[in-house]
Each structure stands twice: as structure tokens, then as C-alpha cells.
């Protein structure tokens, strides 16, 4: 009987953990390789538990692996830039350029154009920035890069506020969240509902070859998307949720847990799209109510009692409604797909 059976495909931790000794090395994540690039190496000055430091290394190591190291990175101003390159030390191990806050998509366009004109098209270009540099000040440049279909993978590390300057609201800040410019005072404490934008959807509207979202909680998914993106040419966009212990008021050890909860609540939809059309969604594995995600973050603490019970029922319901809508819109559940 066993001879005819399909071989075992169950690998204990499957693809959930970083590595898996039970599968062959070529099927493991780039992060499990002791020889991984460590594009962003030790000694950087990111806060303990920084999701962005993690996301950047995940993404760039995967891109380095798939391009055999033929990679150049352009960086917008922001936490990532500041904590990685304070003179006299840089944590980058790949060619890296920081110009300004608003212009990293354009600089990347220039890098790609320059390489192409010099006959070095094998060298690929990644641009990266935070949510402020992407959704706000860099939006025009990003849209231009998309619309021209320049051969750039742009990665947004979204921590949902201006963390580098001291946690001010960005257009990626969620409703009700406390920031330094959306204080928890007045009748509607925290950030205003109904504002803000979701850049992946804007990217999809440009009908560029590839748009995807990912988080630091699902490394396999993230690396797969980077590899997919790098297998294509033209403008590509990857939006990675990176919790910020400082700005979110969360435990430094909860960074990955919060990413996971953002995915499992539906608040952060994980999907991919090609040429403007949704082509795949990461289904929620164990759906959880939004309060499990919110409760761990001080920026939402005004919604809860000291004991952790929901205090502002209406607001939590509004946030839950956003999660429910995401689940429908991005087909995050088997039941709705």
C-alpha cells in the first residue's frame, strides 16, 4: 500500500518557520542560509525589535539571492536610512545610495536608466522607503516611476507613521491610532477615520506588472514575492508591514506576533496582483478578532480598559468592519473566495 502512496509532504513546521532541516537546502528560505547576504548587517542603530530592520534584510537578502548579488539599492530618508548609515559606519553590504526623502523612486529610475545605457542591465535596482516617503512625500515620484514602467522594484516598509521624526501621523496611519499629531484627546481620540490611503491599491491602478503585500510574519511568502518580483521587469511594488515597537507602543518581542495578528485579523491584507488584477491572496489561517491585535499596542490603548477589556466598542467595531471588508475585497478567507 505504501509503495503507491504519494510521498510525505508534511514537514513539521512546513514553511512557517525560517528554516526547515527536513527539506532540501534549495527549498529553504534565504534567511536560513548561514551564507545569506546579510544585506543589512549587525551594528545598525535600529531600536530593539525593529520590524523595518528585519523586513529590509529579508527583502534585500532574497533579492540578492535571486540576482546573484547584482543588485543596487536606493533609499529614501527615514528610519532605515538613519539607523543604517550614520557616519562613519554603514550597515549595508550592497551598493546603496541615499539621496532625499521624496525622490527615491526617481533616483532608482536614474540608476536603472544609467545601468541600461551603460550596458549593465544585469544589475537590478531596488528602491525602498517608509510609509511617509512612499504614501506622502514620495507619492508623485512613485506614481511617475510606476506610470513609466521603469525597471525598479520599489519596497515600502510600512510602519504606519513618521517614526524617524517622533511618531507623527502619515497617510498610512490607521484610524484611531495615537500619534504625536493625532493625540488621544477630544471627542474622537487618535487618528481620524476615513482618511489615509492604501498604496498597494494605488499601485494596482497603475496596472504595473506586479504589486504585492507581505509582512515580516510570513517569511516564505515575503521571499517568494521578492523572487517573483525580481523575475519580472518594469515597475514593481512590494508593500511590507513592519511593526515599530517605539511608535506602536508594543513590546520589542512582539514585532512578528503583531505582524501575524495584522494578517490574521484581516487588517493587513496579504495578496499579489499582476497588471492591475488580483492574482493571489494569502488566506487567513486562524482568524482572530481585531481586539487581539489592537490590545497589544499602546497607540490603541484608549480603546481598552486598564484590564484589557474593550472600552470603546463602537470604534473597535469600525476597525473590525475594515478587517471584514479587507477579507471580502482581497479574498482572504476560503469562505468568501
Q: Which residues, 115 to 174, sit near another protein by CB under 8 A?
A: 115-118, 120, 123, 140-141, 143-144, 147-148, 150
Q: Report the alpha-carbon distance of residue 108 to residue 100 in Å, rounded.
A: 12
What secondary structure does DSSP assign to 7-44, as a single string?
A: PP---TTTTTSS--TTS-GGGS-GGG-TT---SB-TT-
Render the burial of 106-136: b for 16+ CB within 10 Å, e for the rest.
bbbbbbbeebeeeeeeebbbbbbbbbbbbbb
Shortest distance in whole angstroms from residue 134 CB to another protein:
15
- Pair 24, 32: CB distance under 8 Å: no
322 sits near another protein (criterion: CB under 8 A): no
295 sits near another protein (criterion: CB under 8 A): no
- Pair 268, 214: CB distance under 8 Å: no
24 sits near another protein (criterion: CB under 8 A): no
Number of residues that bind another protein (CB under 8 A): 98
User: In terms of CB distance, is 6 or 314 closer to another protein?
Assistant: 6
Interface segment toward another protein; rule CB under 8 A; list 22-30, 178-186, 187-195, 299-307: 22-30
Query: Binders of another protein among 53-92, rule CB under 8 A?
Result: 53-54, 57, 69-72, 74-75, 81-82, 84-92
Shortest distance in whole angstroms from residue 272 CB to another protein:
22
186 sits near another protein (criterion: CB under 8 A): no
Q: For another protein, which residue of 27, 41, 205, 335 counts as binding (CB under 8 A)?
A: 41
Shortest distance in whole angstroms from residue 156 CB to another protein:
17
Query: Residue 44 class from Cβ within 10 Å (0-12 exposed, 13-18 middle, 19+ buried)?
Result: buried
Q: Which of 139, 253, 156 is nearest to 211 (CA)?
A: 156
User: In terms of CB distance, is 84 or 182 closer to another protein?
Assistant: 84
Q: What angle do CA 112, 51, 262 make, to 5 degrees?
A: 105
215 sits near another protein (criterion: CB under 8 A): no
User: Could you give the 3-state DSSP secondary structure of residue 136?
Assistant: helix
Query: Binders of another protein among 251-290, rule CB under 8 A?
Result: 251-257, 260, 285
Q: Which of 150, 85, 86 is nearest to 113 (CA)?
A: 150
Q: For another protein, which residue of 109, 159, 170, 297 counts as binding (CB under 8 A)?
A: 109
User: In terms of CB distance, is 159 or 191 closer to another protein?
Assistant: 159
Amino acid at each position: 500500500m505504501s509503495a503507491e502512496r504519494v510521498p510525505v509532504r508534511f514537514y513539521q513546521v512546513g514553511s512557517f518557520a525560517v528554516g526547515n532541516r527536513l527539506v532540501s537546502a534549495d527549498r529553504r528560505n534565504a534567511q536560513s542560509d548561514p551564507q545569506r547576504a546579510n544585506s543589512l548587517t549587525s551594528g545598525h542603530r535600529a531600536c530593539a525589535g525593529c520590524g523595518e530592520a528585519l523586513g529590509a534584510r529579508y527583502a534585500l537578502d532574497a533579492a540578492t539571492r535571486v540576482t546573484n548579488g547584482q543588485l543596487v539599492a536606493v533609499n529614501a530618508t527615514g528610519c532605515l536610512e538613519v539607523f543604517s548609515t550614520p557616519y562613519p559606519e554603514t550597515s549595508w553590504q550592497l551598493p546603496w545610495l541615499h539621496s532625499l526623502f521624496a525622490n527615491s523612486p526617481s533616483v532608482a529610475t536614474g540608476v536603472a536608466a544609467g545601468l541600461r545605457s551603460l550596458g549593465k542591465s544585469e544589475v537590478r535596482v531596488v528602491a525602498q522607503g517608509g510609509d511617509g516617503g512612499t504614501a506622502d512625500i514620495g507619492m508623485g515620484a512613485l506614481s511617475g516611476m510606476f506610470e513609466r514602467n521603469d525597471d525598479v522594484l520599489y519596497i515600502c516598509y510600512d510602519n504606519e507613521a513618521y517614526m524617524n521624526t517622533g511618531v507623527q501621523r502619515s497617510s498610512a496611519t490607521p484610524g484611531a491610532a495615537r500619534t504625536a499629531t493625532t493625540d488621544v484627546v477630544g471627542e474622537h481620540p487618535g487618528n481620524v477615520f476615513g482618511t489615509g490611503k492604501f498604496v498597494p491599491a494605488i499601485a494596482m491602478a497603475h496596472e504595473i506588472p506586479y504589486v504585492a503585500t507581505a509582512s515580516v510574519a510570513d517569511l516564505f511568502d515575503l521571499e517568494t514575492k521578492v523572487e517573483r518580483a525580481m523575475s519580472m521587469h518594469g515597475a514593481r511594488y512590494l508593500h511590507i508591514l513592519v511593526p515599530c515597537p517605539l511608535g506602536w507602543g508594543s513590546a520589542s518581542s512582539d514585532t512578528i506576533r503583531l505582524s501575524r495578528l495584522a494578517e490574521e485579523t484581516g487588517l493587513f491584507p496579504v495578496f499579489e496582483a499582476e497588471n492591475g488584477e488580483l492574482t493571489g491572496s494569502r488566506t487567513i489561517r486562524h482568524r482572530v478578532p481585531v481586539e487581539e491585535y489592537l490590545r497589544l499596542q499602546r497607540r490603541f490603548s484608549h480603546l481598552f480598559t486598564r484590564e484589557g477589556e474593550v472600552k470603546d466598542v463602537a470604534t473597535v467595531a469600525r476597525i473590525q468592519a475594515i478587517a471584514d471588508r479587507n477579507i471580502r475585497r482581497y479574498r482572504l478567507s476560503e469562505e468568501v473566495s
